[in-house]
Structure 1
Amino acid sequence: MTALSRRFGRPAVTAVLLATVAFLIAPIVLTVVASFATNWTGVLPSGFVTFQNWREVLGLASTIGAERSMGWDSLFSIPIGGGTTLTVAVPSELAFSVALALGGVLINLVVGVPIAYAVSRYEFRGKEWVNAVSILPLVPGVILGVAFLRAYPVLSGTSFGLIVGYSLLKAPFMVMAVQSEFESMPLRQLEESARSLGASWPRTFLTVIVPNASSGIVSGAIICWTLAAAEFNFSYIVWAKGTQPLALFLQRHISNSSFTKAAAAVSMFFCIIVAITLLLQQVGRRGFDTRGH
């Protein structure tokens, strides 16, 4: 048995891992491929290659059902001479949702990181309650949405209300990710070393503790942004009117559009997730680098 385990154990584990990854990735790849097809009635799409689905989703094509496409907002205009101007525009729902999710992540960073640090570093009365309350919002968005409407009617239907709601819903993921990182660090020794060299407590926290927990903080930020951008239940209950969050935009296409057009909308979301993830990783590496080069 030992010989068989040595001979076939590693290849078997590798095969299972590859099969699992392929099983998880296949729907994403198929969806992206289908976004460039003209028809998707069976398992595999057909009729390649067309960009019409993407053009309709992004609001670049005027067709039937264009009211379900993404609108565009002008950021600024640049005069280029001859009485003409160059107008820079962005997809309104895309920019709106990215800003909302990033706003929620910012609140999670400002509030979640100190909470995770306090729970990991200190022993105090009520520590268990603080730890429990920090992960209490880990509930379905529909439940928090209903409670949010009744508790904060002034914020309901506003952009700031969505940002606060996203931060409440995703705060547990930030706290748990950063707390796990803090608990693996010798916090007391790091603090004592920095303080012995003359650093104040705020400087110790910002330039020593936080940079050493950068991987957990970046991971928490990526998880919080991804989940906030795709949060449908809370957005559906709290959102009132105006530019829609991206989750409602996706639901609109999945419910009312053809499979290929819905595939383009979902593929666009995949692209956004990848781009924001890479951006947060780069910002995290550069922002937490204290080596001076």
Structure 2
Amino acid sequence: MTAVFALTFTFLVFPVVATVVASFAREWTGVLPSGFVTLAHWQQVLGIGGDDALYSLQLGAVLRTLPENPLAAPSQSPLFRSVWLALGGVLVNLVVGVPIAYAVARYEFPGRDLLNAFAVLPLAPGIVLGVAFLRAYPQLSGTDFGLIVGYSLLKAPFMVMAVQSSFESMPLRQLEESARSLGASWPRTFLSVVVPNAKRGIVSGAVICWALAAAEFNFSYVVFSRGARPLALFLKANISNSSFLTTAAAVSVFFVLIAGVTAALQLLGDRAFTTN
């Protein structure tokens, strides 16, 4: 099992490592990249120096100085808009997914199995949901609200499954009875006893949902119509017009973004659920 895990992990991680390494190479004409180390590709991607004619194809357009109104940033920058949209989807999943996971893990009621199956099964592929969304709600096409709702619907099963696993591993009835016997109301019991004990599942679900929503391409491609493009569409447009090494730098920047937000969500979760 250890050998199988090691081989699988290596197989999955190697492309990521190779991409990051390639982003610092001067050229790649043979089996391996060569001419280390250069920051030219990162500079081009981040828009630091370089030819102004290429600026519109650089991720620097994401990081450039924004207008005077900071609140306009989410709608005018692909980076900030993608972070905002993905976090909005995570918030919806938390508000809806955590109570569903709790109800399924804690209670027996008519329709429980149907609710559980509906909550953990993918609703539809992104492109199918996007087409259905356009037909049903054309007025929401390209809006932040429409994208947030779509992301939350697509990623909800990951939140429910992660949180439900935490709840099912807990002695929920004993925890609730102990808290209620000490005078805590049901809302206080749920928010200050049950939820903090499930923080690992909640944080894990939030991280997974955010990472997948930020990288969602199919739904974004179908529904997006105006404003700053979501980051997945922005990267696709730039990657298709760049050399492989510049593409490697752009993808590496995306990896760094995912890792940074993931670490921030984990840190925020650890602090938010502290019960001391």
- The TM-score, its normalising length taken from structure 1, stands at 0.85
Bigger mean CA offset, 190-199 vs 253-262: 253-262
Determine the C-alpha separation between the residues in 1 that align with 2:273 and 2:146.
30
**Long gaps (5+) in structure 2:** none
Specify the alignment match of 1:57 in structure 2: 45
Determine the C-alpha separation between the residues in 2 that align with 1:193 and 1:97.
43
Bigger mean CA offset, 218-227 vs 57-66: 57-66
Say whether 1:122 aligns with 2:107: yes
Specify the alignment match of 2:137 in structure 1: 152
Matching of residues 127-276 of structure 1 within 5 Å: 127-276=112-261
Which protein has the bigger helix share?
2
Specify the alignment match of 2:55 in structure 1: 66
What secondary structure sits across from 1:217 in the alignment? helix
Q: Among all aligned residue pairs of Structure 1 and Structure 2, give the percentage whose two residues are the same amino acid.
A: 67
8 A contact 1:112–1:171 mirrored in 2 = yes
Determine the C-alpha separation between the residues in 1 that align with 2:68 and 2:171.
49
> How far did 1:59 drift?
2.6
Count of residues paired in the alignment: 268
Determine the C-alpha separation between the residues in 1 that align with 2:30 and 2:15.
14
Which protein has the bigger strand share?
1
Alpha-carbon RMSD across the aligned residues, in angstroms, is: 2.0
Letter in 2 for 1:267: S
> How far did 1:66 drift?
2.5
Determine the C-alpha separation between the residues in 1 that align with 2:31 and 2:89.
38
Letter in 2 for 1:257: S
Determine the C-alpha separation between the residues in 1 that align with 2:23 and 2:125.
30
8 A contact 1:93–1:246 mirrored in 2 = yes
8 A contact 1:120–1:179 mirrored in 2 = yes
Letter in 2 for 1:52: A
What secondary structure sits across from 2:26 in the alignment? strand
Q: Deviations over 1:61-101 (max 9, x none)?
A: 34343222232242769xxxxxxxxxxx9992211111111
What secondary structure sits across from 1:21 in the alignment? helix
8 A contact 1:73–1:92 mirrored in 2 = no
Higher relative contact order (CA 8 A, sep 6+): 2
8 A contact 1:105–1:225 mirrored in 2 = yes
- 1:73 and 1:155, CA in 2 relative to 1: closer, same or farther beyond 3 A? farther
8 A contact 1:250–1:265 mirrored in 2 = yes
What secondary structure sits across from 1:256 in the alignment? coil
> How far did 1:14 drift?
4.2
Bigger mean CA offset, 199-208 vs 248-257: 248-257
Say whether 1:40 aligns with 2:40: no
Letter in 2 for 1:236: Y
What secondary structure sits across from 2:35 in the alignment? strand
